[in-house]
Chains A and B, each alone.
Chain A
Amino acid sequence: MSARRSESEVASSDASQTVLLPRGPSKALADIDGLDQMTHGGLPRRRMTLVTGDAGSGKTVLALEILARGFRTYGESGIFVAFEESPEQVLSNAASFPWAPGDLGSEQLLLIDARLSPDIVQAGDFDLSILLAGLSAKVKAMGAKRVVFDSIDALLLLLEPGKELREIYRLRDWLASEDITCILTAKAGVPEPALERLHGRLQFIADCVIELSHRLSEGVSLRSLCIRKYRGTRFSENTCPMVIGSGGIELGGVWGDIADHPASNERVSSGMEELDRMLGDGYFRGSSTLVTGSPGTAKTTLGGVFAEAACKRGERALVITFDEVVSEVVRNLSSVSIDFQSQIDAGALVLQAVRTESKSAEEHFLVIAALLKKYEPRCLVLDSISAVLKAGGHANGMAVVQRLMLLTRSLGITLLATSITDTPNPSAEASRLQISTVADTWIHVSYAVQGGERNRALTIIKSRGTKHSNQVRELVLSDQGVTLADVSVVGGEVLMGTLRFERETEAKRSKATARLALEIERRKQELAEVELQARSDLLVRKLELGRVKLAALSAEEESAERDWTDDANDLQRLRSPDEENAPRRKPA
């Protein structure tokens, strides 16, 4: 808010510049968290702000709070003109608020009883000039800067059609001349033509219109505030949930620029090594994680290990549990060796139980926001947000949870929220649980019933900005703590628990068998190779033998031939002269 204040200071110091740019209206801060952000710096000075709403929507409280805080915070004295309730009633209705004007003097906050007595008689046209003349005198005497006309419609309705417009203009001109920030309150939603017409005219003339609404949803009161128009300036057009709490008007929402908050690359441990590995390296600092699952799937345990890990790192963790008893949570978690008690004793952990009964989602938001302010934790666990989601209508709860996630992000708090889902299929839940779109990480824990036992299967459905595992893991809880085990997949079926164990043993056995089989095959092959080698040796020898035999035979033949030729020559020589016809003797 200080930033806003300095913004308006900057705007006023601009006047020294030679070129005068058209500027938006000068504004008066309300000092109500949220309202000053929605109006981008407060209500218009010297102009008319209309606050409308049904009976009981908080118009009078809002107007009076702006007036009272105007003096307490900014030293601007104010006048409250009550047209419908007596000043005593107005004061007593606000007596419990910290800003209650009971102790303020009439120089600081003046209440004027402007009720018309019920037996007043009207005989012709009238105007507000006496009231305004009186107020001018008071404004001058007090130096008042803010004036509220509460339920001015009660008076304006007495005027003939057409004349009320004249009086609204009169009022508008008066404000401008007196340098007054003015709030008019008027009823809305009354199906009465005269009132509707008046309402339309007020809305038309007012520079800023704030609409309050109040309804019941599932027995829970839901209030909201919306700025319908604001001439000449930026403003938030969204409807903002509102509560009339112990502090007066409290607006639910995230006040501060979210975009300004840098995204952190720092990782924080989920409290489980295996899960950290699956997530890349844990959760991002300032991110929000949603853990969904049916009852009993150890969602709380995941929150527990996360919080405990934070404490062990030396960070403060806040665990908010809904409708459970603190001692039971501590006891239950100790069964999986999560020691909350010693962290609580050391002051590192705050475990807060919140009752959900007859509280609106908006009230939950405010309770949680207050706890964050009080304890300033670095890690937050909400177990479970189903309670918040159910409070006063689903759509409303959803919006609140989303804002809660934005709030923790803006504060750099790492959030883990659990939520109960009824169906085993998480994607079927996705549309109903739209928070999953806001959460950075979504972990789903389900039961897998197989082979007569129930086991917990954990999957990371999404995790923004991280390379995360797409694998299903078995969440194993034991008195040694919490671990994740790889699951076995056989023929597309995931095995867990005993089946996984059997499968693992079986796999070990079959591995040994396979090793043996391989050895046998190798031996066989060796044998075959040896045999083949031997055979080929034999053949080579046989060939050699053949070759030798052949060589021996051919050598014998050669010598025989040679002998025969020599013998024939000898014979020729012996038989000459008739040696030509002499018959050749064949070698034997």
Chain B
Amino acid sequence: MTDVPGPDASSNGQPLHLRLHVARPGPNSLRAIDNLSELRREEGGDEWQVDIVDAAEDPEGALRDGVLVAPTLVRVVPLPVVKIIGDLSDRRTVVATLRQR
């Protein structure tokens, strides 16, 4: 796990740190990348840190982090770690989950 508690961390909430595990060029993965960037725009997530990790680059890394399916979105910050699987097409669920404390 990457530790990111930024200097601007406040009680209100730190900026989100998200990691999206994908397997390009899988259609689910490509859709998830699109859906996430759209969501970020809509939610005003300019502050968010978003890493996109392709399984082809570090195939064993995903397994190590307990990531099995493509795509998987991991909320690294704030804790607790939350995982969302799927192409993020169910936007309402994604937003609700990311806001979860």
Closest residue to A117 on the B side, CB-wise? Answer: B83
* CA distance in complex: A283, B97 (Å): 80
Contact with B along A116-142 (1 / 0, CB 8 A): 110111111111111101111110000
Question: Is A114 in the interface zone, CB < 8 Å from B?
Answer: yes
**Interface residue tally on B, bucketed by range:** 35 or more
Interface pair A130/B84, CB less than 8 Å apart: no
Q: Which of B26, B62, B68, B70 contacts A116 (CB 8 A)?
A: B68
Main secondary structure of the interface of A (DSSP, over half): mixed
Contact with A along B17-48 (1 / 0, CB 8 A): 00001110010110110010000000000000
Interface pair A121/B62, CB less than 8 Å apart: no
Q: Which of A123, A129, A131, A136 contacts B89 (CB 8 A)?
A: A123
* CA distance in complex: A136, B56 (Å): 10
Interface pair B59/A126, CB less than 8 Å apart: no
* CA distance in complex: A225, B93 (Å): 44
Question: Is B9 in the interface zone, CB < 8 Å from A?
Answer: no
Please give the distance in Å from A558's CB to the nearest CB on chain B: 159
Interface pair A126/B71, CB less than 8 Å apart: yes
- Collect the chain A residues with CB atoms within 8 Å of residue B91's CB: 123
* Known contacts A129-B29, A130-B23; A124/B68 CB under 8 A: no
Selected A-B contacts with CB under 8 Å, 20 pairs: A116-B85, A119-B82, A121-B82, A121-B85, A122-B84, A123-B86, A123-B87, A123-B94, A124-B86, A125-B87, A126-B85, A127-B26, A127-B69, A128-B69, A128-B70, A129-B70, A130-B23, A134-B63, A137-B59, A155-B69
Question: Is A113 in the interface zone, CB < 8 Å from B?
Answer: yes
Question: Is A329 in the interface zone, CB < 8 Å from B?
Answer: no
Name A's B-contacting residues (CB within 8 A).
112-114, 116-117, 119-131, 133-138, 155, 158
- Collect the chain B residues with CB atoms within 8 Å of residue A117's CB: 66, 83
Interface pair A123/B70, CB less than 8 Å apart: no
Please give the distance in Å from A316's CB to the nearest CB on chain B: 56
* Known contacts A123-B90, A124-B86; A133/B23 CB under 8 A: yes
- Collect the chain B residues with CB atoms within 8 Å of residue A129's CB: 23, 26, 29, 55, 70
Please give the distance in Å from A254's CB to the nearest CB on chain B: 43
Interface pair B83/A121, CB less than 8 Å apart: yes
Question: Is B51 in the interface zone, CB < 8 Å from A?
Answer: no
* CA distance in complex: A124, B22 (Å): 14
Closest residue to B60 on the A side, CB-wise? Answer: A137
Please give the distance in Å from B13's CB to the nearest CB on chain A: 19
Interface pair A136/B59, CB less than 8 Å apart: yes
- Collect the chain A residues with CB atoms within 8 Å of residue B21's CB: 130
Closest residue to B82 on the A side, CB-wise? Answer: A121
* CA distance in complex: A127, B90 (Å): 16
Interface pair B83/A120, CB less than 8 Å apart: yes
Interface pair B88/A130, CB less than 8 Å apart: no
- Collect the chain B residues with CB atoms within 8 Å of residue A155's CB: 68-69
* CA distance in complex: A116, B87 (Å): 17
